Amino acid sequence: MVGRVGRPHGVRGDVSVEVRTDEPERRFASGSVLTTDHGPVTVASSRAHSGRLLVHFEGVDDRSAAEELRGVLLHTSIDPNERPVDSEEFYDHQLVGATVDTVTGHHVGRVAEVLHLVGQDLIVVRPDHGDDVLVPFVASIVPLVEPGRLVIDPPDGLLQLDSGG
């Protein structure tokens, strides 16, 4: 995810965007195509204003149309093999579906989703049986990320592992 659409700004269709990328000038450049659950949107223009990013999308030309985008998650159309510049960062599609094991070798489940919250990112782990588990995506809890596999070192109480293995 590279951003989340916030409230409209003005009457001509501009929206504020909560930026979730280290490369906003690249991801929100004029002509960039971003994907959403509602289909693709094309950036017509973007600019900084009072410490936030304002974006105008093609075809969104009034406040009502801008209001309809509020809360929409923005993703880039990227090559699935593309890696972020920082080797300690990952795109959501690189994590979803990965198996999750503990440092002691216990299989926990698979990554079902990545949640981007204000304070931190969480991975939603879907076990083979039982309820989903929310795991903070921080190095102290997820010390190893490999292609298709995450190893976690959960603090006491995060997982309810049955002793039957």
Distances (CA, A) of 77 to 48, 152, 156: 23, 29, 39
Rounded Cα gap, residues 155 and 15, in angstroms: 40
Span 59-87, pLDDT tens digits: 999 999 999 999 999 987 655 455 544 45
Domains, the chain: 3-76 (2.40.30.60), 92-152 (2.30.30.240)
Residue 24 is classified by DSSP as: H
Span 118-146, pLDDT tens digits: 778 899 999 988 899 999 999 899 999 98
Q: Please give the average per-residue pLDDT across 91-108, as a whole number.
A: 90
Could you tell me the pTM of the whole model?
Answer: 0.53
CA angle, 139 then 78 then 119, to 5°: 35
What is the chain's length? 165
Burial 145-165 (b: 16+ CB within 10 A, else e): beeeebbbebeeebbeeeeee
Distances (CA, A) of 95 to 2, 83, 98, 128, 145: 16, 12, 6, 17, 9
CA angle, 138 then 52 then 119, to 5°: 20
